[in-house]
Chain A
Amino acid sequence: MKYFLYWGCSLEASGANYLASLKPVFEKLGVDFEEIKDWNFCVASILYIGANDLAIKVLNARNLAIAEANGAYDIIAPCSSCYIQMVKVNHEIQEDPELAAKVNEALAEGGLQYKGGVKVRHVLDVLYHDISVEKIKQTVAKPLNGLKVAGYVGCQSVRPYGEYDSVERPITHDRIIEALGSEAVAFPKKMRCCGSGIFLTEMEYCFGLVKDILEDALNHGAQLVSTVCPMCAMNLEVYQPRINTALGTNFDVPIVYLTQLMAVAFGGDLKRDAALHYNIIPPETAMQAAIG
């Protein structure tokens, strides 16, 4: 099966370790993908400040229209912010003919048209439902035995519709962690928001959110936290020293992408395939016992 991979702006910069590990993992699993030609930014969750809602829909519809005109394969969005925006706009256009007409009137200014014929999928959805846990298990060469992982799903990864997993108690992330041989610890705050796109500008309010999430993960025995979203990774990992200073905590918790764990478990090179050296808080020590 062929897909479009819409990796978005973050995965080329602050989320580079996500893309660097996602590609070899897809290769190992035989996922055939191509880039959406000349894609534009998805609007994340902060563009409403400068743009009205129709502009936000048009930005997303442009990517959908290009995908539709070039094969209409399912679009995989590894970034949860891209996912939630695209899946939402796509549904709204598909369900509301009046809106679809307006969006198409704007798209026509650039010679594009979107008929609503593309599906948007999160990377968890594709791994769990298309590839299957069984196939992932079969691909594991170096099981991560004994590694205790908090599978932090984050708020946007399965929302707003819960198309492939529960919006309150999702399981796909944990099942994949378990397929790698590692243990998915029970972790009630796995859906709690990290502060998302307003973290940088509202730090004093968002520090507490990350503190709660990390504490919950550690209290449940996690050695590291796995994420599937570049904003979660950024907020949970890169701000830890600042949170320690501001709130008097002592966090030094490695934050990895699920695809980095997968790359390691598939027997890939720790640098070339898993990009572990891109991580600021090194996960190697926590993973030592498992990977030897």
Chain B
Amino acid sequence: MTSYDPSFAREVFENVDYGEEIKMCMQCGVCAASCPLSMQMDYSPRKIFLLIRAGKREEVLSANSIMLCTSCYSCKVRCPRGIPVVDVMHGLANYALRLGFVPRRQTAIFGGEFWKQIYKLGRIDEKDLSRRYFFADGFMQGIRNTLEMADMGITMFLHRRMKLLPERPIKGIKSLRKMLDKAAQMGKGGAGAS
């Protein structure tokens, strides 16, 4: 058996939002038992925490687990040590993507478009977001994706569940961007963190 390597744990404490929270984990597994998607994960949340302590950097940062969190907060409300497991998973996903790991490609594309739209408009335009997501892999794939989901789009449109006019930027969009730029600089991991 190899000995524990604390270097990755230290890296997580310093660079990952909520990363220092894993110090509290006692490996009880309540998070794993509570997670709706833990059966689909490479490693359950409990195992992710263990692997961080064991120094398994590649395994953790490329695990689908850190991007399959649905943010249901079941783990957070049940953790006997009060660890916000959800926030740790999100922090790990953000850090992994910043380093170039892509644990779940589709979700990464969707989330990336989400952020671009917030920065551009201050709000989300659901139909425009879907279009950008469908066309992320080029025009032809975009057409295929659109046709694949067309029935849903048409149904939503017919039932008035789609906003027809394009979303306009909020009035304070320029000042919002200044705030977000500042937050990106000041956040854990420094500039370029967002």
Contacts and interface: CB of A to CB of B under 8 A. Distances in A.
A192 B184 CA distance: 34
A129 to B, nearest CB: 20
A202 B68 CA distance: 8
A41 B178 contact: no
B163 A156 contact: no
Contact of B159 (A44, A209, A277): A277
B37 A41 contact: no
Contacts of A54: 17, 183-184, 186-188
A14 B18 contact: no
A43 to B, nearest CB: 7
Interface string A49-83: 11111110111001000000000000000000000
Nearest to A52: B187
A269 interface: no
A233 B186 CA distance: 37
B126 A9 contact: yes
A1 interface: no
Q: Is the interface of B mostly helix, strand, loop or mixed?
A: helix
A41 B124 contact: yes
Interface string B145-183: 000000110011001111100010011100110111111
A105 B74 CA distance: 33
Interface in A1-48: 9-10, 12-17, 38-41, 43-48
Nearest to A46: B111
Contacts of B110: 46, 49, 200-201
Interface string A230-246: 00000000110110000
Contacts of B73: 84, 155-156, 159-160, 167
Contact of A41 (B40, B87, B118, B184): B118
B50 interface: no
B161 A16 contact: yes
A110 B67 CA distance: 32
Interface string A136-173: 00000000000000000001100110100001100000
Contact of B122 (A40, A51, A241): A40
B138 to A, nearest CB: 18
B184 A55 contact: yes
B29 interface: no
Interface size on A, as a range, is: 35 or more
Given A55-B194, A59-B118, A201-B106, A49 B126 contact: no
Contacts of A57: 183
B68 A102 contact: no
Contact of A45 (B71, B84, B162): B71
B53 interface: no
Interface string A262-292: 0000000000000001111000000000000
Contacts of B67: 49, 198
Interface in B55-87: 67-74, 76-77, 84, 87
B123 interface: yes
A160 to B, nearest CB: 5
Contact of B114 (A12, A47, A55, A205): A47
Given A55-B183, A238-B155, A202 B72 contact: no
Given A9-B124, A13-B127, A110-B175, A39 B170 contact: yes
A58 B186 CA distance: 11
A238 B130 CA distance: 15
A52 B17 contact: yes
B158 to A, nearest CB: 9
17 contacts: A40-B123, A44-B124, A49-B94, A50-B115, A51-B194, A52-B193, A52-B194, A53-B87, A59-B118, A160-B84, A200-B130, A200-B133, A201-B107, A201-B109, A202-B37, A206-B70, A239-B152
| 4 A-B pairs with least C-beta separation | A50-B115, A49-B111, A110-B175, A45-B71
